[in-house]
């Protein structure tokens, strides 16, 4: 016998009823993004490898070790999208969006990273993210953070924490780099090999390290506060004032630097203690230099990416017992003749009412049909047995309140009306 084929390591099949949670989350995302004035963008699932090397940065985990890179038959190096920001900016440049003024774009879809699979870390994961381009001021930073926070708030995830930091701009960042290098260099040999390698090229990445060997030295490192230039300080203060006024709670966390090279000024994360080691559900910030580094004009940008898997894990942990409200109608025919009468009615109902209409076509007892109704989480049963058939009626049973009502057989409008009255 041939061996069983399974899904690739680090990927998941999303089956019912869990797929409902996904659909609900995605639905909320689309509604929320629209309310903030964002429009959806969809980009290819693979791009030139070069885009990510330039747009994400050579010293990042993503480019150093996580990309799914392959050569296509035309001998071009291609990479499955490991993140969306570089592709979105590439598309914006290619289609001249940035020349038309500020853009508000969002995306929802898969990313691919060759990681060691574990809880909250997969090889195919899904992200919701936004990119707000064309605004240099802190209002845009506030807007995207408020959007991300609105999603958290909508699900009542009280464990979520917003962490905020600033990592300066081209004026004060060089000073910070020097201060960091001066701090770590005397202890070079004590650092993890990754951090040793990164120290000279990208010392901020050392702050981001989760390696035991680095953590103690990171704790005593100088904070950005000490070198921040006036313009960056004002930007940060204005953002904080907006967050305070909107009653969005946050903590300033100097260790938040984000893994990607292109951030400037604002960086933030949303974390949750229920997630264990992979505690970051959302990461974002401002990246005013990215479009230029892709060969485009000077376009300031701010955005975030939120992991849907981790978001749903957070939801499961915080609201494990959450109810999925009963919805829909289980049409139940007892016997071949009843079935022949009910099938056309079900078809009309499916095209008339907004609720789902389920029907099972096997010969079963009423009890077995009602079990199926429970499995479908249906709110109503619409029953046609031989007695009802003779009387020219249907029984409409509310499976939540256990109350029955009789409606005239053949009058679809009556069924629809009764449903609307019973569950307004």
**Alpha carbon distances (Å) from 211 to 100, 195, 202, 359:** 44, 9, 16, 56
Residue at token pair 């009423």:
366
Stretch near ligand ATP under the rule CB under 6 A, chosen from 40-48, 120-128, 241-249, 340-348:
120-128
Nearer Cβ to ligand ATP, position 214 or 309? 309
User: Using the rule CB under 6 A, which residue among 104, 113, 379, 397 binds ligand ATP?
Assistant: 113
With CB under 6 A as the contact rule, the residue among 57, 138, 283, 303 that binds ligand ATP is: 283
Structure tokens at 252: 């300033």
Q: Is 59 in the site for ligand ATP (CB under 6 A)?
A: no
CB of 275 to ligand ATP, least distance (A): 9
Cross-strand partners of 71: 77
| Residue 115 binds ligand ATP (CB under 6 A) | yes
317 binds ligand ATP (CB under 6 A): no
| HSE toward the beta carbon, residue 112, CA cutoff 13 A | 15
- Of the pair 163, 369, the CB lying nearest ligand ATP is at 163
Residue number, 254 or 283, with CB nearest to ligand ATP = 283
Q: Determine if 281 is a binding residue for ligand ATP (CB under 6 A).
A: yes
- The verdict on 288 binding ligand ATP (CB under 6 A) reads no
Q: How far is CA 389 from CA 331, 346, 366, 367, in A?
A: 14, 15, 15, 19
Work out whether 109 is an interface residue with ligand ATP (CB under 6 A). no
Piece of the chain touching ligand ATP by CB under 6 A; list 301-309, 318-326, 331-339, 390-398: 301-309
309 binds ligand ATP (CB under 6 A): yes
Stretch that binds ligand ATP, among 13-21, 117-125, 150-158, 230-238 (CB under 6 A): 117-125
CA distance 365 to 352: 28
What minimum distance in Å lies between the beta carbon of 305 and ligand ATP? 4
DSSP readout, 284-298? EEE-TTHHHHTT---
**What per-residue string of b and e applies to 180-213 under the rule 16 or more CB within 10 Å gives b?**
beebbeeeeeebbebbbebbeebbbbbbbbeeee
Neighbouring residues of 199: CB distance < 8 A, sequence distance ≥ 6: 181, 184, 185, 188, 191, 206
Is 329 near ligand ATP (CB under 6 A)? no
> Within 13 Å, how many C-alpha atoms sit on residue 64's CB side?
10
Given the rule CB under 6 A, which of 30-38, 69-77, 116-124, 288-296 is the region that contacts ligand ATP?
116-124
- The site for ligand ATP (CB under 6 A) is made up of 83, 113, 115, 120-122, 125, 127, 259, 278, 280-283, 305, 307, 309-310
């Amino acid at each position: 016998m041939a061996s069983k084929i399974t899904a690739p390591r680090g990927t998941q099949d999303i089956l019912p009823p869990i797929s409902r949670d996904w659909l609900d989350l995605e639905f909320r995302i689309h509604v929320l993004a629209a309310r903030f004035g964002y429009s959806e963008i969809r980009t290819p699932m693979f791009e030139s490898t070069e885009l990510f090397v330039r747009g994400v940065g050579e010293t990042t985990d993503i480019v150093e070790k996580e990309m799914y890179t392959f050569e296509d038959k035309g001998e071009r190096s291609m990479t499955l999208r490991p993140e969306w920001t570089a592709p979105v900016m590439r598309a914006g440049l290619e289609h001249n969006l940035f020349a038309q003024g500020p853009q508000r774009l969002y995306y929802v879809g898969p990313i691919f990273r060759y990681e060691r699979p574990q809880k909250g870390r997969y090889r195919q994961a899904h992200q919701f993210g936004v990119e707000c381009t064309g605004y240099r001021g802190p209002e845009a930073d506030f807007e995207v953070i408020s959007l991300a926070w609105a999603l958290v708030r909508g699900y009542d995830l009280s464990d979520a924490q917003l962490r905020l930091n600033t990592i300066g701009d081209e004026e004060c960042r060089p000073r910070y780099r020097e201060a960091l290098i001066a701090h770590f260099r005397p202890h070079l040999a004590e650092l993890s090999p990754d951090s040793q390698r990164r120290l000279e090229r990208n010392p901020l990445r050392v702050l981001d390290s989760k390696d035991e060997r680095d953590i103690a030295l990171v704790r005593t490192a100088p904070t950005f506060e000490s070198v921040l230039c006036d313009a960056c300080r004002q930007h940060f203060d204005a953002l904080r004032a907006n967050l305070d006024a909107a009653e969005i709670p946050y903590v300033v966390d100097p260790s938040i630097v984000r893994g990607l090279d292109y951030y400037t000024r604002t960086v933030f994360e949303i974390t949750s203690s229920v997630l264990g080691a992979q505690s970051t559900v959302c990461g974002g910030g401002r990246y005013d230099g990215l479009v230029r580094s892709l060969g485009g004009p000077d376009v300031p940008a701010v955005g975030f990416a939120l992991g849907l898997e981790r978001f749903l894990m957070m939801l499961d942990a915080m609201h494990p017992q959450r109810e999925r409200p009963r919805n829909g109608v289980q049409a139940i025919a007892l016997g071949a003749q009843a079935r022949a009468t009910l099938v056309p009615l079900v078809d009309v109902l499916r095209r008339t009412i907004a609720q789902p209409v389920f029907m099972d076509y096997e010969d079963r007892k009423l009890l077995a049909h009602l079990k199926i109704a429970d499995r479908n989480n249906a709110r109503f049963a619409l029953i046609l047995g031989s007695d009802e058939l003779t009387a020219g009626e249907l029984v409409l049973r509310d499976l939540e309140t256990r109350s029955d009502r009789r409606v005239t057989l053949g009058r679809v409008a009556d069924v629809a009306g009764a449903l609307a009255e019973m569950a307004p």
